[in-house]
Amino acid sequence: MQNKEIPYKIYLKESEMPKSWYNLRADMKHKPAPLLHPGTGSAIAADELEQVFCKELTEQELDDATTFVPIPQEILNFYRMYRPSPLVRAYCLEERLGTPAKIYYKFEGSNTSGSHKLNSAVAQAYYAKKQGLRGVTTETGAGQWGTALSMACAYFGLDCQVYMVRSSYEQKAFRREVMRTYGASVTPSPSDTTEVGRKILAAHPNTGGSLGCAISEAVERAVSQPGYRYVLGSVLNQVMLHQSVIGLETKAAMDQYGIVPDIIIGSAGGGSNLGGLIAPFMGEKLRGERDYRIVAVEPASCPSLTRGRFAYDFCDTGRICPMAKMYTLGADFIPAPEHAGGLRYHGMSPILSQLYHDGLFEAVSVKQTQVFEAAEYFARVEGILPAPESAHAIRVALDEALKCRETGEEKTILFGLTGTGYFDLKAYEQFHDGRMTDYVPADEELERSFAGLPKQS
């Protein structure tokens, strides 16, 4: 029942913005499985995690009971520089498609880092500063996370050391310069600055790297320098918590106009934007208050939900991080160097993995060229140049809207538009020149990688 005329863009007032993050785990009957120590295989203790992560972030990581976590004022202040993000009614897109569907997207790309990752970066930098640390280390794939973290570190006056997947480092030199503008140091990974990097280079001398490798290097650097901790831009429970701000804003804006989505769609790399967007909606679903159809979209080249195993696995190639129970392609899986770098991770958030295992949402995979067709179409109609990662969600939103055109159903579709694609123009160039290919791993390739999964006890 939509009771008011709905504007093109719905912005919350400052006073209406969320003051707490929502911890979806509190409402989950089946909690995500605990992290395990990579050496001993027993549940990891807080003091062990605190050697790698900041103290308060460790607490958030392990807390599956607290429903609402107040957002510290310093973080709220930073959020106000670029939030609320707009919830857009895609009137132009609906008209062009000739669909009776009503399409909405939550646009997270209107900050300089160009994606939703800033929501968690600022939180992680804040807690590191509060703990009195000197700096943080991290990895970045496509560069969005590294950029977001360098902005957050500059704001709080922290040193920021970024390991950037080599293929992106070479393809996206401008991203690197943005990070350096905010004071970060950027090293292509694998590198010879860490033991694990040297080992990986010896085994795969020409590798373009992967997120899994870069994570190992960043963790090694964090634990070998006093006053440093490691921070991660996705997958972890704490990141899902911070990203709930996306869904909370969306839900508040929709409630004001009596809008109820039938379908919620998001791209899934490590799961943080999808987990954040769906959090309050999934909460209602878990509490039996309302049902939603939720769809995760992943690349066919890195299909962790649709073709992965639900098992304990290492989070990094070097096997030094805790093990998580998740949908995974195996920590040895090195995805093809396709262009949605932010989706090229072998695993998936343990929270989303558990929800998926419990049948609470669906997943589909799409091929790169179909994604760029959707990206280009969207850019021409709605004006925004989307990130390739975001265009995975656009692809499925368009397909759902076209189905409504066939059936005449007036469904309400909500999708997450996670970022902009200004640094992805090499990929757009390949697409326009007709040089873009689709890679789909063969079953044998996945089997080889599954063979490296740790033995389940």
Ligand X SMILES: *Cc1c(COP(=O)(O)O)cnc(C)c1O
- Closer residue to ligand X, CB minimum distance, 102 or 395: 395
**Number of separate helices (H) and strands (E) present in the chain:** 18, 15
- Closer residue to ligand X, CB minimum distance, 129 or 421: 421
Of 91, 107, 106, 94, nearest in space to 402 by CA: 94
Question: Are the CB atoms for 245 and 204 separated by under 8 Å?
Answer: no
- Closer residue to ligand X, CB minimum distance, 117 or 285: 117
- Closer residue to ligand X, CB minimum distance, 318 or 342: 342
Least distance in angstroms from the C-beta of 351 to ligand X: 12
- Closer residue to ligand X, CB minimum distance, 260 or 336: 336
Least distance in angstroms from the C-beta of 441 to ligand X: 19
- ω before 261 within 30° of 0 (cis)? no
- The single-letter DSSP state of residue 237 is H
Chain residues binding ligand X by CB under 6 A are 115, 117, 144, 234, 267-274, 342-343, 387, 389-390, 418-419
Q: Please enumerate, as own/partner, the contacts of 220-227 that have beta carbons within 8 Å and a separation of 24 or more.
A: 220/194, 220/195, 220/196, 220/318, 220/320, 221/137, 221/161, 221/163, 221/193, 221/194, 222/52, 222/136, 222/137, 223/51, 223/52, 225/134, 225/135, 225/137, 226/134, 227/132, 227/133, 227/134, 227/135
Q: Kindly report the length of the chain.
A: 457
Q: Please enumerate, as own/partner, the contacts of 443-447 that have beta carbons within 8 Å and a separation of 24 or more.
A: 446/307, 446/329, 446/330, 446/333
Least distance in angstroms from the C-beta of 457 to ligand X: 29
Three-class SS state of 133? coil
Question: Are the CB atoms for 313 and 324 separated by under 8 Å?
Answer: yes
Least distance in angstroms from the C-beta of 141 to ligand X: 7
Q: CA 381, CA 397: separation in Å to the nearest integer?
A: 14
- The single-letter DSSP state of residue 42 is S
- Closer residue to ligand X, CB minimum distance, 117 or 319: 117
- Closer residue to ligand X, CB minimum distance, 115 or 138: 115
Of 352, 234, 230, 322, nearest in space to 43 by CA: 322
Three-class SS state of 87? strand
Least distance in angstroms from the C-beta of 415 to ligand X: 12
- Closer residue to ligand X, CB minimum distance, 237 or 272: 272
Least distance in angstroms from the C-beta of 375 to ligand X: 12
Least distance in angstroms from the C-beta of 74 to ligand X: 24
CA dist list (Å): 193 to 43, 166, 218, 315, 351: 30, 14, 10, 21, 33
Least distance in angstroms from the C-beta of 385 to ligand X: 12
Residue written as token pair 């990579």: 38
- Closer residue to ligand X, CB minimum distance, 272 or 317: 272
Three-class SS state of 127? helix
Least distance in angstroms from the C-beta of 255 to ligand X: 24
Residue written as token pair 């930098």: 125
Least distance in angstroms from the C-beta of 392 to ligand X: 8
Of 242, 225, 224, nearest in space to 233 by CA: 242
- Closer residue to ligand X, CB minimum distance, 216 or 234: 234
- Closer residue to ligand X, CB minimum distance, 133 or 335: 335
- The single-letter DSSP state of residue 16 is G
Least distance in angstroms from the C-beta of 246 to ligand X: 10
